Structure 1
Amino acid sequence: MTVNGTATLSIEEFVRILRDSAGEDEAVDLSGDIADVPFTDLGYDSLALLEVTARVSRDYGVDLPDRDLDSVDTPQGFVDLVNSVLSQG
């Protein structure tokens, strides 16, 4: 998706990348509204998020600072961080 000519990450695209990179726990339905559900409740640990971060960094051409990632604990927080970095150019 793009806004004003700049690529942005949607929650739907994030979920697709999450599934592709880190898999999906059978006990968790990622098809629902998971935007504000903590990653730990979704069954994802820091290693899974490293995989997702590497994929998003490569696909979107962004450098996501570790200090900022440390404070992200939900899918919406991750999407917001990526889009914030993208909007800064």
Structure 2
Amino acid sequence: MTQNTFTLADLKRILLEGAGADSGSALEGDITDATFEELGYDSLALLETSTRIEREFHLAGDDDALITAKTPRELIELVNAQLAASV
């Protein structure tokens, strides 16, 4: 069964899986409006993250759309928009 919503918890889990457990402290607390740069994630990490999201949530959207997000809030909104469009 495909999940219908993408949450901050999903994003944190995927970021940790892709970057490793050492980055976990940057993801504590309310990170919703922090930039990925402030959280220590570069474009390569975001590319890996978007690939994992697309694979896990069965998205076949624009490959570049997810890596344009500057904050977790933006990324969550983009993923949820793609999920809603695929229903």
Q: Tell me the TM-score normalised to structure 1 length.
A: 0.81
TM-fit CA distance, 1:29? 2.9
Alignment correspondent of 2:85: 88
Quick one: which of 12, 17, 21 aligns to 1:15?
12
Alignment correspondent of 2:23: 25
Alignment correspondent of 1:69: 66
Quick one: which of 23, 33, 36 aligns to 1:36?
33
TM-fit CA distance, 1:76? 1.1
3-state DSSP of counterpart to 1:39: coil
Given the superposition, is the C-alpha separation of residues 76 and 88 from structure 1 closer, same or farther in structure 2, using an over 3 Å criterion? same
Q: Which of 54-63 and 16-25 deviates more?
A: 16-25
Identity of aligned residues (%): 38
TM-fit CA distance, 1:67? 4.5
1:25-50 deviation digits (Å, cap 9, x = unpaired): 37x53121001100000000010011
RMSD of Structure 2 on Structure 1 (CA) = 2.0
Structure 1 Cα separation of the partners of residues 74 and 11 of structure 2? 11
1:6-29 deviation digits (Å, cap 9, x = unpaired): 611101111011111123437x53
Report the number of matched residues: 84
> Which structure features the higher share of strand residues?
1
Structure 2 Cα separation of the partners of residues 17 and 67 of structure 1? 18
Q: Is the contact made by 1:6 and 1:87 (CA closer than 8 Å) also made in structure 2?
A: no
Structure 1: gaps spanning 5 or more residues? none
